[in-house]
Protein backbone atom coordinates (compact mmCIF):
# COMPACT_ATOMS: atom_id res chain seq x y z
CA UNK A 1 0.00 0.00 0.00
CA UNK A 2 1.23 3.50 -0.85
CA UNK A 3 1.59 6.29 1.71
CA UNK A 4 -1.67 8.11 2.49
CA UNK A 5 -2.36 10.99 0.15
CA UNK A 6 -4.26 14.24 0.58
CA UNK A 7 -6.87 14.26 -2.20
CA UNK A 8 -8.99 17.29 -3.13
CA UNK A 9 -12.02 16.63 -5.32
CA UNK A 10 -13.30 19.54 -7.41
CA UNK A 11 -16.92 18.62 -8.06
CA UNK A 12 -20.56 19.62 -8.08
CA UNK A 13 -22.30 19.31 -4.69
CA UNK A 14 -21.50 15.91 -3.18
CA UNK A 15 -24.78 16.01 -1.30
CA UNK A 16 -26.71 15.46 -4.55
CA UNK A 17 -24.83 12.59 -6.21
CA UNK A 18 -26.35 9.22 -7.07
CA UNK A 19 -24.25 6.96 -4.86
CA UNK A 20 -25.02 3.91 -7.01
CA UNK A 21 -24.18 5.54 -10.32
CA UNK A 22 -21.73 8.38 -9.81
CA UNK A 23 -18.14 7.70 -10.91
CA UNK A 24 -16.69 10.44 -8.69
CA UNK A 25 -18.27 8.75 -5.67
CA UNK A 26 -16.68 5.45 -6.74
CA UNK A 27 -13.27 7.15 -7.00
CA UNK A 28 -13.72 8.64 -3.53
CA UNK A 29 -14.70 5.29 -1.99
CA UNK A 30 -11.65 3.64 -3.54
CA UNK A 31 -9.32 6.41 -2.37
CA UNK A 32 -10.69 6.21 1.14
CA UNK A 33 -10.28 2.41 1.20
CA UNK A 34 -6.56 2.98 0.50
CA UNK A 35 -6.20 5.30 3.49
CA UNK A 36 -6.16 8.54 1.50
CA UNK A 37 -7.66 11.64 3.10
CA UNK A 38 -10.47 13.28 1.14
CA UNK A 39 -11.46 16.92 0.77
CA UNK A 40 -14.13 18.41 -1.49
CA UNK A 41 -14.66 21.88 -2.90
CA UNK A 42 -16.73 23.53 -5.62
CA UNK A 43 -15.35 25.65 -8.46
CA UNK A 44 -16.74 29.03 -7.21
CA UNK A 45 -14.52 28.77 -4.10
CA UNK A 46 -11.30 28.74 -6.17
CA UNK A 47 -9.05 31.78 -5.72
CA UNK A 48 -5.76 32.77 -7.35
CA UNK A 49 -3.51 35.17 -5.46
CA UNK A 50 -0.06 35.81 -4.04
CA UNK A 51 1.59 33.00 -2.16
CA UNK A 52 4.91 32.99 -0.37
CA UNK A 53 7.96 35.16 -1.04
CA UNK A 54 11.32 33.45 -1.47
CA UNK A 55 14.53 34.76 0.19
CA UNK A 56 15.44 36.23 -3.19
CA UNK A 57 12.24 38.28 -3.25
CA UNK A 58 10.36 36.22 -5.81
CA UNK A 59 6.62 36.05 -5.11
CA UNK A 60 4.87 32.78 -5.87
CA UNK A 61 1.31 32.32 -7.07
CA UNK A 62 -1.10 30.39 -4.88
CA UNK A 63 -4.36 28.72 -5.81
CA UNK A 64 -6.61 28.08 -2.85
CA UNK A 65 -10.11 26.76 -2.26
CA UNK A 66 -12.54 26.28 0.59
CA UNK A 67 -11.83 22.64 1.38
CA UNK A 68 -14.14 20.45 3.44
CA UNK A 69 -12.69 17.22 4.83
CA UNK A 70 -15.12 14.39 4.14
CA UNK A 71 -15.64 10.69 4.69
CA UNK A 72 -17.95 8.74 2.42
CA UNK A 73 -19.98 5.56 2.78
CA UNK A 74 -22.44 3.76 0.54
CA UNK A 75 -25.46 4.59 2.66
CA UNK A 76 -28.35 6.34 0.92
CA UNK A 77 -29.24 9.58 2.62
CA UNK A 78 -26.11 9.45 4.77
CA UNK A 79 -23.34 9.00 2.23
CA UNK A 80 -21.06 11.90 3.28
CA UNK A 81 -19.87 13.25 6.61
CA UNK A 82 -18.18 16.65 6.42
CA UNK A 83 -15.68 18.40 8.64
CA UNK A 84 -15.32 22.14 8.97
CA UNK A 85 -14.42 24.00 5.81
CA UNK A 86 -11.20 26.02 5.69
CA UNK A 87 -9.37 27.89 2.96
CA UNK A 88 -6.22 26.03 2.03
CA UNK A 89 -3.71 26.07 -0.79
CA UNK A 90 -4.25 23.29 -3.31
CA UNK A 91 -0.47 23.00 -3.30
CA UNK A 92 -0.85 21.29 0.09
CA UNK A 93 -2.66 18.44 -1.64
CA UNK A 94 -1.02 15.48 -3.37
CA UNK A 95 -3.84 14.95 -5.89
CA UNK A 96 -6.64 17.12 -7.27
CA UNK A 97 -9.44 15.32 -9.09
CA UNK A 98 -11.16 17.68 -11.52
CA UNK A 99 -14.63 16.13 -11.64
CA UNK A 100 -17.20 18.91 -12.09
CA UNK A 101 -19.65 18.32 -14.91
CA UNK A 102 -19.73 20.45 -18.06
CA UNK A 103 -21.01 22.65 -19.76
CA UNK A 104 -17.55 23.31 -21.13
CA UNK A 105 -17.92 27.08 -21.00
CA UNK A 106 -15.60 29.94 -20.04
CA UNK A 107 -16.11 29.22 -16.34
CA UNK A 108 -14.92 25.64 -16.91
CA UNK A 109 -12.00 26.79 -19.02
CA UNK A 110 -10.98 29.44 -16.44
CA UNK A 111 -10.89 26.75 -13.73
CA UNK A 112 -8.40 24.79 -15.85
CA UNK A 113 -6.21 27.90 -16.14
CA UNK A 114 -6.14 28.26 -12.36
CA UNK A 115 -5.31 24.59 -11.89
CA UNK A 116 -2.38 24.98 -14.31
CA UNK A 117 -0.62 26.82 -11.45
CA UNK A 118 -1.01 23.77 -9.22
CA UNK A 119 -0.45 20.85 -11.57
CA UNK A 120 2.78 18.95 -11.08
CA UNK A 121 4.61 16.70 -8.67
CA UNK A 122 6.76 18.25 -5.96
CA UNK A 123 6.69 21.05 -3.37
CA UNK A 124 3.54 23.21 -3.59
CA UNK A 125 2.25 21.11 -6.48
CA UNK A 126 -0.48 18.51 -6.87
CA UNK A 127 -1.11 15.97 -9.60
CA UNK A 128 -4.29 17.20 -11.29
CA UNK A 129 -6.34 14.45 -12.92
CA UNK A 130 -6.94 14.92 -15.79
CA UNK A 131 -4.15 17.34 -16.79
CA UNK A 132 -5.97 20.72 -16.86
CA UNK A 133 -4.15 21.98 -19.95
CA UNK A 134 -5.18 18.98 -21.98
CA UNK A 135 -8.73 19.03 -20.65
CA UNK A 136 -8.87 22.62 -21.89
CA UNK A 137 -7.27 21.76 -25.23
CA UNK A 138 -9.39 18.65 -25.80
CA UNK A 139 -13.06 19.62 -26.17
CA UNK A 140 -14.80 16.29 -26.31
CA UNK A 141 -16.52 16.68 -29.66
CA UNK A 142 -13.49 18.36 -31.25
CA UNK A 143 -10.70 16.13 -29.99
CA UNK A 144 -12.23 13.25 -31.91
CA UNK A 145 -11.81 15.18 -35.18
CA UNK A 146 -8.05 14.57 -34.93
CA UNK A 147 -8.84 10.92 -35.72
CA UNK A 148 -11.02 11.32 -38.85
CA UNK A 149 -10.38 7.75 -40.02
CA UNK A 150 -12.24 6.52 -36.93
CA UNK A 151 -15.28 8.80 -37.21
CA UNK A 152 -18.55 8.82 -39.16
CA UNK A 153 -18.88 11.63 -41.72
CA UNK A 154 -18.80 14.85 -39.67
CA UNK A 155 -19.10 18.59 -40.20
CA UNK A 156 -18.36 21.41 -37.71
CA UNK A 157 -19.48 24.82 -38.91
CA UNK A 158 -21.46 28.02 -38.47
CA UNK A 159 -22.36 27.99 -42.17
CA UNK A 160 -26.02 27.14 -42.72
CA UNK A 161 -25.49 26.35 -46.41
CA UNK A 162 -22.77 23.85 -45.52
CA UNK A 163 -25.15 22.18 -43.07
CA UNK A 164 -27.89 21.98 -45.67
CA UNK A 165 -25.47 20.49 -48.20
CA UNK A 166 -24.33 17.91 -45.64
CA UNK A 167 -27.95 16.93 -45.03
CA UNK A 168 -28.59 16.67 -48.77
CA UNK A 169 -25.61 14.31 -49.09
CA UNK A 170 -26.30 12.07 -46.06
CA UNK A 171 -30.12 12.42 -45.75
CA UNK A 172 -30.39 11.37 -42.10
CA UNK A 173 -28.26 13.47 -39.71
CA UNK A 174 -27.55 14.25 -36.07
CA UNK A 175 -27.21 17.89 -34.97
CA UNK A 176 -25.20 18.47 -31.75
CA UNK A 177 -24.14 21.49 -29.73
CA UNK A 178 -20.36 21.39 -29.43
CA UNK A 179 -20.10 21.95 -25.70
CA UNK A 180 -23.15 20.29 -24.19
CA UNK A 181 -23.25 17.09 -22.18
CA UNK A 182 -25.54 14.24 -21.20
CA UNK A 183 -27.33 14.18 -24.55
CA UNK A 184 -28.82 17.65 -24.07
CA UNK A 185 -29.72 19.52 -27.25
CA UNK A 186 -29.00 16.65 -29.66
CA UNK A 187 -31.46 16.33 -32.56
CA UNK A 188 -31.97 13.76 -35.27
CA UNK A 189 -33.12 15.33 -38.53
CA UNK A 190 -34.40 12.88 -41.16
CA UNK A 191 -34.52 13.54 -44.90
CA UNK A 192 -38.19 14.57 -44.84
CA UNK A 193 -38.00 16.57 -41.61
CA UNK A 194 -38.97 20.21 -42.16
CA UNK A 195 -37.56 21.48 -38.87
CA UNK A 196 -33.91 21.92 -39.83
CA UNK A 197 -34.14 25.61 -40.75
CA UNK A 198 -36.08 26.47 -37.59
CA UNK A 199 -33.60 24.51 -35.47
CA UNK A 200 -30.64 26.35 -36.99
CA UNK A 201 -32.35 29.73 -36.57
CA UNK A 202 -33.07 28.98 -32.92
CA UNK A 203 -29.51 27.82 -32.21
CA UNK A 204 -27.70 30.69 -33.90
CA UNK A 205 -30.06 33.28 -32.36
CA UNK A 206 -29.00 32.03 -28.91
CA UNK A 207 -25.38 31.03 -29.44
CA UNK A 208 -22.20 32.17 -31.19
CA UNK A 209 -20.88 28.60 -31.23
CA UNK A 210 -20.80 26.34 -34.29
CA UNK A 211 -22.69 23.07 -34.50
CA UNK A 212 -21.44 19.54 -35.06
CA UNK A 213 -23.34 17.61 -37.71
CA UNK A 214 -22.86 13.87 -38.17
CA UNK A 215 -24.37 11.17 -40.33
CA UNK A 216 -26.96 9.26 -38.34
CA UNK A 217 -25.73 5.76 -37.55
CA UNK A 218 -28.59 3.20 -37.32
CA UNK A 219 -26.30 1.03 -35.15
CA UNK A 220 -27.17 3.36 -32.25
CA UNK A 221 -30.41 1.40 -31.87
CA UNK A 222 -28.23 -1.45 -30.57
CA UNK A 223 -26.44 0.94 -28.22
CA UNK A 224 -23.82 3.64 -27.79
CA UNK A 225 -20.82 1.91 -26.26
CA UNK A 226 -18.89 3.72 -23.50
CA UNK A 227 -15.34 2.38 -23.31
CA UNK A 228 -13.29 3.39 -20.27
CA UNK A 229 -9.56 3.92 -20.75
CA UNK A 230 -7.02 4.37 -17.95
CA UNK A 231 -3.76 6.00 -19.05
CA UNK A 232 -4.60 5.13 -22.64
CA UNK A 233 -5.48 1.46 -22.04
CA UNK A 234 -9.06 0.13 -22.19
CA UNK A 235 -10.26 -1.53 -18.99
CA UNK A 236 -13.80 -2.35 -20.12
CA UNK A 237 -17.03 -1.08 -21.59
CA UNK A 238 -20.75 -0.70 -21.01
CA UNK A 239 -23.47 -0.37 -23.62
CA UNK A 240 -26.03 2.44 -23.32
CA UNK A 241 -29.22 1.56 -25.14
CA UNK A 242 -31.94 4.09 -26.11
CA UNK A 243 -35.41 3.52 -24.73
CA UNK A 244 -38.78 4.24 -26.28
CA UNK A 245 -38.71 6.57 -29.28
CA UNK A 246 -35.67 8.56 -28.14
CA UNK A 247 -32.64 8.34 -30.46
CA UNK A 248 -30.31 9.32 -27.60
CA UNK A 249 -28.68 6.65 -25.47
CA UNK A 250 -27.18 8.86 -22.73
CA UNK A 251 -28.16 7.65 -19.27
CA UNK A 252 -28.98 11.26 -18.30
CA UNK A 253 -31.91 11.13 -20.73
CA UNK A 254 -33.19 7.62 -20.03
CA UNK A 255 -30.70 5.33 -21.77
CA UNK A 256 -30.26 1.96 -20.08
CA UNK A 257 -26.84 0.46 -19.33
CA UNK A 258 -26.17 -3.09 -20.51
CA UNK A 259 -23.24 -5.51 -20.36
CA UNK A 260 -21.08 -5.58 -23.49
CA UNK A 261 -17.72 -6.92 -24.66
CA UNK A 262 -15.01 -5.11 -26.60
CA UNK A 263 -14.89 -5.95 -30.30
CA UNK A 264 -11.77 -6.04 -32.46
CA UNK A 265 -12.83 -2.68 -33.92
CA UNK A 266 -13.14 -1.23 -30.40
CA UNK A 267 -9.61 -2.41 -29.62
CA UNK A 268 -8.33 -0.91 -32.87
CA UNK A 269 -9.87 2.46 -31.93
CA UNK A 270 -8.32 2.33 -28.45
CA UNK A 271 -4.90 1.45 -29.86
CA UNK A 272 -5.12 4.44 -32.21
CA UNK A 273 -5.97 7.04 -29.56
CA UNK A 274 -4.31 5.49 -26.48
CA UNK A 275 -0.80 6.92 -27.01
CA UNK A 276 -2.22 10.47 -27.33
CA UNK A 277 -4.19 10.11 -24.08
CA UNK A 278 -1.21 8.73 -22.18
CA UNK A 279 1.22 11.35 -23.48
CA UNK A 280 -1.05 14.22 -22.46
CA UNK A 281 -1.97 13.18 -18.93
CA UNK A 282 -5.54 12.16 -19.74
CA UNK A 283 -5.68 9.36 -17.19
CA UNK A 284 -9.45 8.75 -16.95
CA UNK A 285 -11.20 8.90 -20.32
CA UNK A 286 -14.49 7.56 -21.61
CA UNK A 287 -14.94 7.22 -25.36
CA UNK A 288 -18.23 6.70 -27.20
CA UNK A 289 -18.44 4.20 -30.04
CA UNK A 290 -21.51 3.59 -32.21
CA UNK A 291 -21.14 0.55 -34.43
CA UNK A 292 -17.70 0.89 -35.98
CA UNK A 293 -17.33 4.61 -35.36
CA UNK A 294 -15.77 6.75 -32.64
CA UNK A 295 -18.08 9.71 -31.91
CA UNK A 296 -16.68 11.38 -28.75
CA UNK A 297 -13.64 11.34 -26.45
CA UNK A 298 -14.79 12.41 -22.98
CA UNK A 299 -12.05 13.88 -20.79
CA UNK A 300 -13.88 16.26 -18.40
CA UNK A 301 -15.79 14.02 -15.96
CA UNK A 302 -16.34 10.63 -17.63
CA UNK A 303 -18.88 8.22 -16.16
CA UNK A 304 -19.46 4.46 -16.22
CA UNK A 305 -17.24 3.11 -13.43
CA UNK A 306 -20.02 1.74 -11.25
CA UNK A 307 -21.88 0.10 -14.15
CA UNK A 308 -18.66 -1.52 -15.36
CA UNK A 309 -18.03 -3.04 -11.95
CA UNK A 310 -21.60 -4.32 -11.65
CA UNK A 311 -21.58 -5.96 -15.08
CA UNK A 312 -18.01 -7.24 -15.39
CA UNK A 313 -16.52 -7.08 -11.90
CA UNK A 314 -13.88 -4.65 -13.20
CA UNK A 315 -12.87 -2.08 -10.59
CA UNK A 316 -12.02 0.85 -12.84
CA UNK A 317 -11.63 3.15 -9.84
CA UNK A 318 -8.87 0.89 -8.51
CA UNK A 319 -7.12 0.96 -11.89
CA UNK A 320 -7.24 4.76 -11.88
CA UNK A 321 -5.81 5.00 -8.36
CA UNK A 322 -3.10 2.45 -9.20
CA UNK A 323 -2.11 4.71 -12.09
CA UNK A 324 -2.15 7.88 -9.98
CA UNK A 325 -0.11 6.30 -7.20
CA UNK A 326 2.44 4.95 -9.68
CA UNK A 327 2.85 8.37 -11.29
CA UNK A 328 3.46 9.95 -7.90
CA UNK A 329 6.05 7.30 -7.04
CA UNK A 330 7.79 7.82 -10.36
User: Is position 88 annotated as part of the catalytic site?
Assistant: no
**What backbone torsions phi and psi does residue 70 show, to the nearest 5 degrees?**
-150, 145
Instruction: Tell how strand 47-53 and strand 37-41 pair up.
Output: unpaired
User: Is position 141 annotated as part of the catalytic site?
Assistant: yes
CA distances from 299 to 3, 146, 168 (A): 27, 15, 33
Q: Are the C-beta atoms of 143 and 297 separated by less than 8 Å? A: yes
CA distances from 66 to 23, 48, 98, 231, 291 (A): 23, 12, 15, 30, 44
User: Is position 176 annotated as part of the catalytic site?
Assistant: yes
User: Is position 161 annotated as part of the catalytic site?
Assistant: no
**Among the options 226, 239, 250, 325, which is catalytic?**
226
User: Considering Cα of 318, then 324, then 329, then 330, what sign does the dihedral take?
Assistant: positive
**Among the options 141, 167, 215, 225, which is catalytic?**
141
User: Is position 278 annotated as part of the catalytic site?
Assistant: no
**Among the options 22, 266, 296, 307, which is catalytic?**
296
Helices (H) and strands (E) counted in the chain, each on its own, are 9, 17
**Among the options 167, 298, 307, 325, which is catalytic?**
298
User: Is position 248 annotated as part of the catalytic site?
Assistant: yes
CB count within 10 Å of CB 243 equals 11
**Among the options 68, 99, 176, 225, which is catalytic?**
176
User: Is position 226 annotated as part of the catalytic site?
Assistant: yes
Burial (CB count within 10 angstroms: exposed 0-12, middle 13-18, buried 19+), residue 110: middle
**Among the options 68, 248, 307, 325, which is catalytic?**
248
**Among the options 231, 240, 307, 325, which is catalytic?**
240
User: Is position 240 annotated as part of the catalytic site?
Assistant: yes
Q: Which residues are catalytic?
A: 141, 176, 226, 240, 248, 288, 296, 298
Amino acid sequence: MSSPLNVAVQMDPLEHVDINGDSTFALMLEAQSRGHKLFVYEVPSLALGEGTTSPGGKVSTQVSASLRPVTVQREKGNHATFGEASRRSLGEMDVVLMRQDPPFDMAYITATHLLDHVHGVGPNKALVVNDPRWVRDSPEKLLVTHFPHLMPPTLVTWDVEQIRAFRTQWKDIIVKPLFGNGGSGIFRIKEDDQNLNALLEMHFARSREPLMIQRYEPAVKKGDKRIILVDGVPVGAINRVPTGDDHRSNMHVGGVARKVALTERDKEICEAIGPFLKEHGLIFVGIDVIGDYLTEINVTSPTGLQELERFDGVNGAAAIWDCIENKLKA
